[in-house]
Amino acid sequence: MEQPNLSYIASMSGGDKAFEQKLIDIIKTEFPEEKRIYFNNINANNFKEAAENVHKLKHKISILGLEKSYDVAVTYEHNLIESSTTGREDFESILQIMTEFLETL
């Protein structure tokens, strides 16, 4: 599985390390809460709400350079809209990888 990286953040910052850190801090603050809300909704079979959570989370997936994982999230979001959890395991593996990566920053 692909690994998160800061390449996209670095390319957006133009070398501004303070900007990079601010963006990382925002992600580190928002991601755990968004992930918690997703798990609450998916465990309650609130598929529409879970799809909205995945929609928000996929932007952070993209920012952390996870291109293939972004595609997984798009497919999973669509499946949730159709009340299917196909792709759940793969998506939740991505969340775990992101969690572990953010803990190292």
Q: What is the DSSP secondary-structure string of 7-75? A: HHHHHHHTT-HHHHHHHHHHHHHHHHHHHHHHHHHHHTT-HHHHHHHHHHHHHHHHHTT-HHHHHHHHH
What amino acid is encoded at 29 in this protein?
T
Q: What phi, psi does 65 have (nearest 5°)?
A: 75, 20
pLDDT digits (tens, 9 = 90+) for 5-42: 999 999 999 999 999 999 999 999 999 999 999 999 99
pTM of the model: 0.95
Give the residue-averaged pLDDT of 58-70. 97
Q: How many whole angstroms separate alpha carbon 14 and alpha carbon 53? A: 30
User: Range with the lowest mean pLDDT among 10-14, 52-56, 97-101?
Assistant: 10-14
pLDDT for residue 38: 98
pLDDT for residue 27: 97
Contact between residue 73 and residue 54 where contact means Cβ atoms under 8 Å apart: yes
Residue 1, pLDDT > 90, answer: no
Tokens for 53, please give them.
Answer: 């959570």
Bigger pLDDT: 1 or 55?
55
What does the mean pLDDT of the chain come to?
Answer: 97
